[in-house]
Amino acid sequence: MIRRSRLKLGIGVSLIAIFVMISISLPSDDQGQPSSPTPEWSYDGETGPEYWDEIEHLGSACGGEHQSPINIIECFTENVKETVLNFEINYAPYTKIHDVLNNGHTIQYSFERGDFVIYNNERFDLLQMHFHEPAEHTVNGIRYPLELHMVHQGKHDNFLVLSIMAQEGLSSEPFQFLESYLPLQPQEKKVVHAGYDLNQNLPDILDYFLYAGSLTTPPCTESVEWIVFKHPITVSHEQVAALKVLMPTNNYRLKQDLNDRTVTLHVIE
């Protein structure tokens, strides 16, 4: 009986010791509860743009000095006159769209490899395009109802983004094609594998603003050259509305300080 009692006592002490060790090893917050995962960023509330630098993991540049978008004030830009574009757009008449995704933040069309832009003698391959409603960049304080970003990546993990503003007016035939694959629920992806002429998304007049900035969503990487076309394209009110209902309300980041950067306006003569 004495041996059995000692055995039970030994087991009880061992279990208590294990429980204490496990409790000490669990990470906890200020209330003594296990820590929760880092929240996903969003466009409002405690995970909105003003908190991105706080909620993102180490390595986020969202609090950097050269962030995007910005308010472009034309009278403060440096004017550059060109007879031809100083960058080369190489979009085939039938660029292959691989898929379209509603990632919960925007509607994104991803492309098969092949189309690219040459800028400063460097090739930037087209990755994807997506939408912001209303626009992220403002021009002379004016915010357009829609902005299209065409994202390209260089070989050094740097980026070039073509930004195209859209104003409401006549219906856009290219947008009709894009929206034929909608609607999509959040996180739903649809394989497209169809040809699309991206050149139809470009404005008729190719004057543009150029500046160095960042991605406009986390991690807000700052190695981005922005080409923001001055003149908008036209889409119908119904086409803007079709995108709006599929994306978060006001999926845009507020303007960031220009700081020591220069914006140039390139006019094609």
Q: Per-residue pLDDT tens, the chain, 269 aa: give them.
A: 434 444 343 444 343 343 333 333 333 333 333 334 456 899 999 899 999 988 766 568 999 999 999 999 999 999 999 888 889 999 999 999 999 999 999 999 999 999 999 999 999 999 999 999 999 999 999 999 999 999 999 999 999 999 999 999 999 999 999 999 999 999 999 999 999 999 999 999 999 999 999 999 999 999 999 999 999 999 999 999 999 999 999 999 999 999 999 999 999 98
Find where tokens 């906890």 sit.
Answer: 28
At residue 58, the pLDDT reads 55
Q: Is 132 a catalytic residue?
A: no
Q: How far apart are CA 200 and CA 174, in angstroms?
A: 7
Please name the residue ranges forming H helices in the chain: 2-25, 52-55, 173-179, 237-244
At residue 56, the pLDDT reads 67
Take residue 106 and report the two structure tokens written for it. Answer: 């925007």
At residue 22, the pLDDT reads 34
At residue 85, the pLDDT reads 85
pTM, 2 dp: 0.84
- Would you list the domain boundaries of the chain? 45-268
Q: Which amino acid is at 112?
A: E
Of the residues 105, 130, 152, 266, only one is catalytic, namely 105
List Cβ neighbours of 240 (8 Å cut-off, separation of 6 or more). Answer: 133, 145, 146, 166, 168
Instruction: Please name which of 74, 105, 7 lies closest in space to residue 230, comparing C-alpha atoms.
Output: 74
Q: What b/e readout covers 224-247, taking b as 16+ CB neighbours within 10 angstroms?
A: bbbbbbbebbebbeebbebbbebb
Query: Going by CATH, does the domain composed of 45-268 fall within 3.20.20.140?
Result: no
Find where tokens 């034309």 sit.
Answer: 74
Phi, psi for residue 84 in degrees, rounded to 5:
-140, 165
Find where tokens 């993102």 sit.
Answer: 56
Contact between residue 92 and residue 117 where contact means Cβ atoms under 8 Å apart: no
